[in-house]
Amino acid sequence: TVFLSLCSIAAMSLAVFVSAVSRTIDMSVTIMPIAFELARLFGGFFLSPAAMPLKFAWIEMIYYSKWAYIGASVNELKGLALHCDEGEYLSDGSCPLTSGDQVIADKGYTPYTIPLCMSILVVYVVTLRLLAYLALRYIKW
């Protein structure tokens, strides 16, 4: 629930920032769906860090959804024991996945820790709120 809350606060912070720097309501209503769609596409739901092409790696680093998704995934998978049901065994009779740690390694989540993901989300929120404040204070449309 911590990652869900941080993800929600980060999304609100992005919306506040875009609203603060947009000249009109129409501009902010146009920019926000694009920003949220990019966050959804590069947030780790469709492509894990291990499968992300290198030319797009910088995009996934700047979106809050990646850090919330990976943090929640590591939290849930770390130390989890998995078992195969009938029909899920490989041809040699072995189970392909026996632990959540294998999933973490396969998806490329190994370098990410829960405190790292939380810290980046908090920094993301504080930075966007500060930039929104500065935009409201100093940008004169």
Helices (H) and strands (E) in the chain, counts: 6, 0
What pLDDT does 51 receive?
A: 83
pLDDT tens for 101-132 read 999 998 889 999 999 999 999 999 999 999 99
Instruction: Please give the backbone phi and psi of residue 86, each rounded to the nearest 5 degrees, phi first.
Output: -55, 135
CB 117 within 8 A of CB 43: no
pLDDT tens for 44-88 read 778 788 888 888 778 878 889 999 999 999 999 999 998 888 777
What pLDDT does 32 receive?
A: 92
Query: CA angle 79-5-69, nearest 5°?
Result: 45
Tokens 């966050």 found at: 39
Cα torsion 106, 111, 117, 120: sign: negative
Stronger pLDDT, 39 or 105, i.e. the higher one: 105
What pLDDT does 93 receive?
A: 78
CA dist 39 and 15 (Å) reads 12
